[in-house]
């Protein structure tokens, strides 16, 4: 019997059936199953037997195969991932049955599903936030990291593979991610996609003469059009991509020397992972050789002339037009080689060139900047209150030519706009938009200044592009209506004056009496009031202190008297104001969306009554608002109690009159009450939200959009010194709340009926 | 034991502090002083406001009285109060009164942090009256011609409640400070910390990268002061990446992912 034989055999019933045989008493020993774990330390054997026991409890055969094919999975034991592997096996067994699970055990690392479930390496999911922050630190550009099937950028987003497991070392995999992000940032920063054929007419002419006029003028992107001039656009594209990588690496070597050093050693390791070409054409072999040489392999792989061309490219900080010239020269040299060309594998961190995607994104950005420009312009004109006929121009700039030596020359940004011949200084917000337009187009096209009469006068209502909801919409100019910005995570910017919010008072006079409700909570109310009385504190002037703000005259007179009497006087002669008084202002924001209808609404009302009773003991300054809405054009904020309203019968009646209304657009009410709260002078300012689910509204305010807007509104509140806290009764997963409020700034109450007792308790804990 | 102790009227800065002008702030400040106008310095933390005031005190050869304001700072702390001495009450001037009497430069750092009643007492000093009423003494003290009031504040992250009231800010000549340009900052970091130009350039690069993250996860990027701290650690033999981790990364954030991201930036530069 093997060292762990008894324990192994105890895992299986007798007789034990497998798909192929029945094991009776003694058969397993005969087969040597009991000796399979011999040689393992007792600790390791314990771990395997424990895993086998878990499997055996579900299906003894799974444990049997674990032992039988243990050698195939032993590496998991060494890596400490056996428990994780067991989970995968059981999931597979539950989902697909015994045979697939058995295969999975048998094939170990070689099973096709292994990399998916237990693959090594680094996943984008765990690193995207770090990579995005890193990408944004590299420059002013606002970039987003996204998962994609291939690696490229459209100049706004960087697409990366979901997992990298190229190396055995996770650090190197992460480094590869970082190199990819930096490379793509380099493309955006160095304007790879902004090749302008208009700036290099000589080259275009020469290409047409040499290769015939294959110009595809309808191409969205000039870069794609440039490739189309060549007989084999794929070769041109690969040459350009290589040249671009060379100049990006030169940029990295100057700006991020630490990364460049690591990249050099990473490149050497990447050579070994490159597939070896078999029976390829001359041109394919040469192209592959050049890439290999660039990664650090032997010089012989790359012709001397090309080596020198690439080296000089590395040294001279080329612009994108220079890359086009380089591509042409390079193509002339290699184009004569025997084809056809089978595109070689690109350098892993260089990814693909996607000129169309970049062009499309550029057009989208251009359109949104144009709209934003016009919106700001109409706002500016509205404020000026000029006559109907308006002419807007940009004052002439000193540098008028847009191209110099193939490079676009950036003009000076205008500091003023001429409105009807009068110079108006450019507002800050507009300045940023103008900067974007200049970055893109070099100047502001005259069409941008064409503003229709209706736009200038009614910029808000005419520029909305979302179809309004069914109910009565608010008008921006109506009394008590506030236009608030909303955060659009997709463009990482605000939609100005996007949501219209109206503050109204909840009408009082409900059918049910609040006295009855309060009477029903008699015991709870007494307990809570007692607890709150304990923490109530007033500011106290402490007399006869050794130090303080003012002299205690009584004590001083006494001391002088003592001194005259020949007694040693006391040194406790000061008055001090005790500072640890409560100085708190709190706003409670209550979800009155349709989903709270019924029981939740009832419990919210009860909770508010109890809370108000408790807070009136504390004499803390507090306000209560309810919110609901229908589209961005009608966000309703119901004032239940304002800061300056005393708590009394009227407030109680309003609480009893609360109803569930429509949707949950959380951002606008948070922004509004943040303003209310920041006008108070309290030392501690609290914003407590009670909610029953994710932000959700009729016009696209759901999912990531709603969550990100709410999060942004909360960040704004925090910046104003407000402490936000959320009480949620959402039974579904609430990881989104963690994202919005922060890890420790929310609490989940699973039992609705506990609301009246829990909420005052939470408030007490938060403020003491 | 020898303690280097001076009355604040005698606190002259004898050695020229290192200050690299970024615009014509030195000229404007000098003209304001000549015209007896108070100055308001605005700008992010650690960008050189205090150093500028020290430099100007040296340049104008005036004593410098600095008060770091906090939310418990009372008017009495600035103006003065009665103390008991040998059975008698004795009036002791506060730093502001001493500066007014001796014609010093009085620098109230982070003025908005002080209690509101405190900011009001500087009003008569900061307009053409240039007087300090001392209520408890029943006196009005006229400021010496060389006296100058300088206040600073950081508009970046103060709450609205603590914003400077227009009645206060409209008495001052405003000088806006921001982080110096790249070349100047490299020079400052190298000179102040003693590191080589290359190391200083790398530190400034990291500083600029963190400033790109302002409002994208960080409230404020690394200040020049932080970069100098990191430089000093490097100069004392701490490995650059480690020095940045102690002096910059940990200081800017507590968020785990942000810390990792800043770590990646540091690794990319060093």
Q: What is the pLDDT along chain B (270 residues), one digit of tens a residue?
A: 455 777 877 788 889 999 999 889 999 999 999 999 999 998 888 889 999 999 999 999 999 999 998 876 778 789 988 776 776 778 889 999 999 999 999 999 988 887 767 778 889 999 889 999 988 788 999 999 999 999 998 775 444 345 677 788 889 999 999 889 999 999 999 999 999 999 999 999 999 999 988 767 777 889 999 999 999 999 999 999 999 999 999 888 877 788 899 999 999 999
pLDDT score at A239: 92
Span between the terminal Cα atoms of chain B, in Å: 44
| Most confident of the ranges A107-121, A274-288, A311-325 | A311-325
Task: Answer yes or no: do B113 and B223 share one domain.
Answer: no
pLDDT at A408 over 60: no
Task: Answer yes or no: do B51 and B79 share one domain.
Answer: yes
Task: Give Dmax over CA atoms of chain B in angstroms.
Answer: 67
Q: How far is B85 from chain A (nearest CA, A)?
A: 11
Number of Cβ atoms within 10 Å of the Cβ of A345: 11
- How far lies A555's CA from each of A258, A559, B27, in Å? 68, 6, 53
Number of domains in chain B: 2
Pairing verdict, β B148-153 and B39-42: parallel
Q: How far is A557 from chain B (nearest CA, A)?
A: 10
Query: In this predicted model, what pLDDT tens digit does every residue of A338-352 receive, in sequence order?
Result: 878 888 888 989 999
Q: How far is A683 from chain B (nearest CA, A)?
A: 10
pLDDT score at B194: 94
Task: Answer yes or no: do B165 and B187 share one domain.
Answer: no
pLDDT band of A617, cuts 50, 70, 90:
confident
CA distance A575 to A581: 16
Instruction: Lowest mean pLDDT of A327-336, A483-492, B36-45, name the range.
Output: A483-492
Task: Answer yes or no: do B137 and B11 share one domain.
Answer: yes
Q: Do B217 and A133 touch (CB under 8 A)?
A: yes
Number of Cβ atoms within 10 Å of the Cβ of B219: 14
Which of B172, B164, B166 has its CA nearest to residue B127? B172
Task: Answer yes or no: do B162 and B187 share one domain.
Answer: no
Output the CA torsion sign for A713, A715, A719, A722.
positive
pLDDT score at A468: 35
pLDDT score at A469: 37
Task: Answer yes or no: do B97 and B148 share one domain.
Answer: yes
pLDDT at A465 over 60: no
Q: How far is A292 from chain B (nearest CA, A)?
A: 24
Based on C-alpha coordinates, what's the Rg of chain B?
21
Which of A55, A78, A83 has its CA nearest to residue A67? A55
Pairing verdict, β A407-408 and A416-419: unpaired
pLDDT at A452 over 70: no
Q: Which residues of B236-266 are buried (b: 16+ CB within 10 A; e: fewer)?
A: eebebeebbbebbbeebbebebbbbbbbbbb
Identify the domain boundary among B135, B156, B176.
Answer: B176
Q: Which residues of B fall within a CB distance of 8 Å from A681?
A: 161
pLDDT score at A678: 84
pLDDT band of A4, cuts 50, 70, 90:
confident
Task: Answer yes or no: do B167 and B195 share one domain.
Answer: no
Report, as an integer, the average pLDDT of A672-696: 84
Of B157, B241, B268, the CB nearest to A259: B268
CA distance A723 to A678: 11
Identify the domain boundary among B142, B159, B176.
Answer: B176
- SS3 label, residue B86: coil
The residue of A128, A131, A134 whose CB has the most chain B CBs within 10 angstroms, and thus the best one to mutate to test that interface, is: A134
Q: Do B270 and A559 touch (CB under 8 A)?
A: no
Q: Do B213 and A136 touch (CB under 8 A)?
A: yes
With a threshold of 0.80, does the pTM exceed it?
no
pLDDT score at B36: 93
pLDDT score at A401: 46
Q: Do A134 and B82 touch (CB under 8 A)?
A: no
Q: Which residues of A fall within a CB distance of 8 Å from B161?
A: 678-681, 721
Size of interface A-B (CB pairs under 8 A): 84
Query: In this predicted model, what pLDDT tens digit does every residue of A700-729 receive, in sequence order?
Result: 787 888 888 888 888 888 887 888 888 887
Q: Which residues of A fall within a CB distance of 8 Å from B268?
A: 134, 178, 182, 256, 258-259
Output the CA torsion sign for A159, A162, A167, A170.
positive
Of B160, B210, B270, the CB nearest to A137: B210
Cβ atoms of A737 and A726 closer than 8 Å: yes
pLDDT band of A462, cuts 50, 70, 90:
very low
CA distance A652 to A573: 49
**Tokens 């550009």 label which residue?**
A141
Task: Answer yes or no: do B208 and B244 share one domain.
Answer: yes
Q: Which residues of A fall within a CB distance of 8 Å from B266?
A: 258
Task: Answer yes or no: do B206 and B259 share one domain.
Answer: yes
Task: Answer yes or no: do B21 and B80 share one domain.
Answer: yes
pLDDT band of A455, cuts 50, 70, 90:
very low
Q: Which residues contact A172 (CB under 8 A, 6 or more apart)?
A: A166, A266, A269
Query: In this predicted model, what pLDDT tens digit does every residue of A624-634 receive, in sequence order?
Result: 998 888 888 88
pLDDT band of A470, cuts 50, 70, 90:
very low
The residue ranges of DSSP E strands in chain B, in sequence order, are: 39-42, 64-68, 80-85, 88-93, 105-109, 131-134, 139-142, 148-153, 173-176
* DSSP classification of residue A394: P
pLDDT score at B81: 80
pLDDT score at A453: 41
- How far lies B204's CA from each of A260, B29, B52, in Å? 18, 27, 20
pLDDT score at A612: 86
Task: Answer yes or no: do B61 and B77 share one domain.
Answer: yes
State the CATH number of the domain containing residue B113. Answer: 3.40.50.300
Query: In this predicted model, what pLDDT tens digit does every residue of A78-87 receive, in sequence order?
Result: 888 888 788 7
CA angle A752, A758, A762 (to 5 degrees): 135
Q: Which residues contact B176 (CB under 8 A, 6 or more apart)?
A: B42, B43
- SS3 label, residue A293: helix
For a pLDDT cut of 70, what percent of chain A falls above it?
A: 88
CA distance A593 to A690: 11
Q: Do B264 and A130 touch (CB under 8 A)?
A: yes
Q: Which residues of B fall within a CB distance of 8 Å from A134?
A: 261, 264-265, 268
Instruction: Lowest mean pLDDT of A285-294, A401-410, B7-16, name the range.
Output: A401-410
pLDDT score at B3: 57
pLDDT at A295 over 70: yes
Q: What is the mean pLDDT of chain A?
A: 81
| DSSP state string for A45-93 | HHHHHHHHHHHHHH-HHHHHHHHHTHHHHHHHHHHT-HHHHHHHHHHHH
Token readout for A281 is 């054409």
Neighbouring-strand partners of residue B82: B91
Q: Do B84 and A258 touch (CB under 8 A)?
A: no
Identify the domain boundary among B176, B195, B218.
Answer: B176
pLDDT score at A535: 64
Of A130, A551, A721, the CB nearest to B260: A130
Report, as an integer, the average pLDDT of A437-443: 77
Token readout for A60 is 């003894």
Q: Which residues of A fall within a CB distance of 8 Å from B213?
A: 133, 136-137
Q: Do B72 and A579 touch (CB under 8 A)?
A: yes
| Domain interval for residue B263 | 182-269
Task: Answer yes or no: do B156 and B115 share one domain.
Answer: yes
Q: Do B157 and A719 touch (CB under 8 A)?
A: yes
Nearest-CA residue of chain B relative to A142?
A: B216
pLDDT score at A500: 85
pLDDT score at A411: 62
Q: How far is A262 from chain B (nearest CA, A)?
A: 9
Asked if residue A173 has a cis previous peptide bond (ω within 30° of 0), the answer is no
Q: How many residues does chain B have?
A: 270
pLDDT score at A685: 84
Query: In this predicted model, what pLDDT tens digit does every residue of A180-193 receive, in sequence order?
Result: 999 999 999 999 99
pLDDT score at B195: 94
Burial of A615 (0-12, 13-18, 19+ CB in 10 A): buried
Report, as an integer, the average pLDDT of A216-230: 84
Nearest-CA residue of chain B relative to A567?
A: B87
Query: In this predicted model, what pLDDT tens digit does every residue of A572-611 receive, in sequence order?
Result: 888 887 655 567 888 888 888 877 777 777 788 888 888 8
Q: Which residues of B fall within a CB distance of 8 Å from A139?
A: 212
Q: How far is A550 from chain B (nearest CA, A)?
A: 8
Interface of A with B (CB under 8 A): 129-131, 133-134, 136-140, 142, 178, 182, 255-259, 262, 549-551, 556, 559-560, 563, 569, 573, 579, 678-681, 719-721
pLDDT at A538 over 60: no
């Amino acid at each position: 019997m093997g060292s762990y034989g008894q324990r192994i055999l105890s895992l299986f019933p007798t007789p034990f059936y497998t798909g192929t045989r029945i094991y009776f008493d003694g058969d397993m020993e005969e087969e040597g199953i009991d000796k399979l774990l011999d040689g393992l330390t007792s600790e390791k054997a314990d771990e395997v037997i424990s895993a086998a026991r878990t499997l055996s409890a579900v299906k003894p055969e799974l444990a049997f195969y674990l032992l039988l094919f243990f050698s195939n999975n032993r590496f998991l034991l060494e890596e400490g991932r056996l428990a994780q592997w067991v989970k995968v096996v059981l999931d597979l067994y539950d989902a697909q049955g015994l045979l697939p699970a058995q295969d999975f055990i048998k094939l170990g690392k070689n099973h096709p599903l292994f990399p998916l479930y237990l693959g090594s390496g680094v996943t984008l999911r765990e690193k995207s936030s770090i990579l995005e922050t890193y990408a944004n630190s590299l420059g002013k550009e606002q970039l987003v990291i996204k998962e994609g099937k291939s690696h490229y950028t459209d100049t706004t987003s960087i697409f990366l593979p979901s997992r990298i497991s190229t190396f055995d070392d996770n650090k190197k995999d992460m480094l590869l991610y970082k190199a990819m992000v930096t490379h793509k940032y380099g493309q955006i920063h160095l304007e790879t996609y902004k090749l302008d054929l208009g700036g290099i007419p000589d080259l275009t002419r020469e290409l047409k003469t040499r290769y015939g006029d294959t110009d595809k003028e309808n191409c969205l992107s000039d870069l794609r059009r440039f490739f189309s001039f060549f007989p084999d656009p794929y070769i041109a594209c690969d040459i350009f991509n290589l040249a671009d990588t060379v100049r990006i690496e030169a940029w990295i070597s100057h700006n991020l020397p630490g990364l460049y050093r690591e990249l050099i050693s990473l490149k050497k390791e990447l050579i070994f992972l490159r597939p070896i070409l078999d029976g390829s054409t001359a041109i394919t072999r040469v192209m592959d050789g050049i890439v290999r040489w660039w990664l650090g392999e032997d010089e012989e792989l790359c012709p001397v002339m090309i080596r020198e061309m690439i080296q000089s490219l590395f040294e001279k900080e080329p612009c994108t037009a220079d890359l086009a010239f380089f591509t042409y020269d390079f193509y002339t040299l290699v184009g004569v080689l025997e084809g056809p060309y089978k595109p070689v594998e690109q350098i892993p961190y260089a990814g693909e060139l996607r000129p169309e995607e970049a062009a499309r994104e550029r057009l989208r950005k251009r359109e949104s900047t144009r709209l934003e420009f016009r919106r700001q312009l109409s706002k500016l004109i509205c404020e000026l209150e000029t006559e109907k006929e308006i002419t807007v121009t940009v004052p002439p700039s000193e540098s008028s030519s847009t191209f110099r030596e193939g490079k676009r020359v950036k003009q000076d940004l205008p500091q003023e706009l001429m409105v009807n011949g009068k110079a108006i200084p450019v507002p800050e917000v507009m300045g940023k938009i103008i900067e974007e337009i200049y970055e893109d187009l070099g100047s502001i096209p005259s069409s941008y200044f064409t503003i229709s009469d209706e736009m200038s006068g009614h910029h808000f209502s005419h520029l909305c592009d979302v179809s309004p909801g069914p109910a009565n919409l608010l008008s921006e100019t109506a009394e008590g209506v506030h236009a608030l910005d909303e955060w659009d995570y997709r463009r990482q910017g605000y939609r100005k004056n996007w949501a219209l919010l109206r503050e109204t008072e909840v009408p009082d006079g409900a059918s049910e009496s609040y006295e009855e409700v309060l009477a029903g909570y008699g015991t709870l109310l007494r307990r809570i009031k007692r607890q709150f009385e304990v923490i109530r504190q007033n500011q106290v002037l402490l007399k006869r202190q050794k130090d303080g703000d003012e002299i205690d005259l009584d004590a001083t007179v006494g001391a002088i008297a003592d001194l005259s009497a020949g007694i040693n006087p006391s040194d406790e002669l000061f008055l001090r104001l005790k500072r640890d008084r409560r100085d708190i202002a709190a706003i409670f924001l209550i979800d009155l969306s349709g989903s709270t209808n019924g029981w939740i609404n009832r419990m919210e009302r009860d909770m508010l009554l109890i809370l108000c009773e408790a807070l009136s003991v504390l004499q803390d300054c507090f306000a209560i608002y309810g919110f609901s809405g229908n589209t961005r054009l009608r966000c309703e904020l119901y004032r239940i109690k304002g800061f300056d309203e005393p708590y009394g019968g009227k407030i109680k009646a309003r609480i009893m009159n609360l109803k569930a209304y429509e949707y949950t657009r959380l951002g606008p009410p948070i922004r509004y009450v943040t303003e209310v709260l920041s006008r108070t002078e309290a030392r501690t300012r609290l914003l407590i939200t009670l909610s029953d689910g994710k932000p959700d509204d009729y016009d696209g305010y759901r999912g990531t959009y709603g969550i990100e807007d709410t999060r942004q509104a909360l960040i704004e509140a925090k910046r104003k010194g407000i402490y936000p806290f959320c009480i949620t009764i959402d039974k579904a997963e609430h990881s989104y709340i963690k994202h919005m409020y922060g890890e420790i700034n929310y609490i989940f109450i699973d039992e609705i009926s506990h609301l009246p007792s829990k909420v005052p308790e939470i408030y007490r804990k938060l403020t003491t | 034991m020898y303690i280097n102790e001076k009355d604040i009227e005698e606190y002259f800065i004898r050695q020229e502090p290192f200050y690299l002008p970024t615009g014509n702030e030195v000229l404007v400040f000098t003209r304001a002083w000549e015209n007896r106008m108070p100055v308001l310095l605005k700008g992010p933390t650690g960008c050189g406001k205090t150093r500028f005031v020290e430099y100007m005190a040296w340049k104008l050869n005036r004593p410098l009285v600095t008060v770091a304001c906090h939310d418990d700072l009372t008017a009495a702390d600035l103006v003065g109060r009665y103390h008991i001495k040998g059975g008698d009450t004795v009036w002791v001037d506060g730093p502001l009164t001493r500066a007014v009497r001796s014609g010093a430069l009085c620098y109230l750092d982070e003025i908005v942090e002080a209690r509101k009643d405190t900011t009001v007492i500087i009003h008569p000093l900061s307009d053409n009256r240039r007087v300090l009423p001392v209520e408890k003494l029943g006196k009005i003290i006229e400021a010496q011609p060389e006296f100058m009031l300088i206040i600073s504040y950081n508009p970046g992250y103060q709450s609205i409640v603590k914003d400077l009231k227009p009645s206060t800010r409209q008495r001052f000549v405003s000088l806006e400070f921001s982080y110096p340009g790249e070349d100047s900052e490299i020079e400052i970091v190298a000179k102040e910390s003693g590191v080589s130009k290359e190391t200083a350039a790398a530190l400034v690069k990291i500083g600029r990268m963190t400033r790109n993250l302002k409002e994208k996860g960080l409230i404020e990027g690394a200040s020049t002061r932080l970069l100098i701290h990191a430089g000093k650690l490097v100069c004392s033999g701490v490995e650059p990446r480690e020095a940045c981790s102690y002096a910059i990364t940990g200081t800017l954030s507590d968020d785990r992912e942000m810390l990792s991201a800043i770590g990646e930036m540091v690794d990319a530069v060093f």
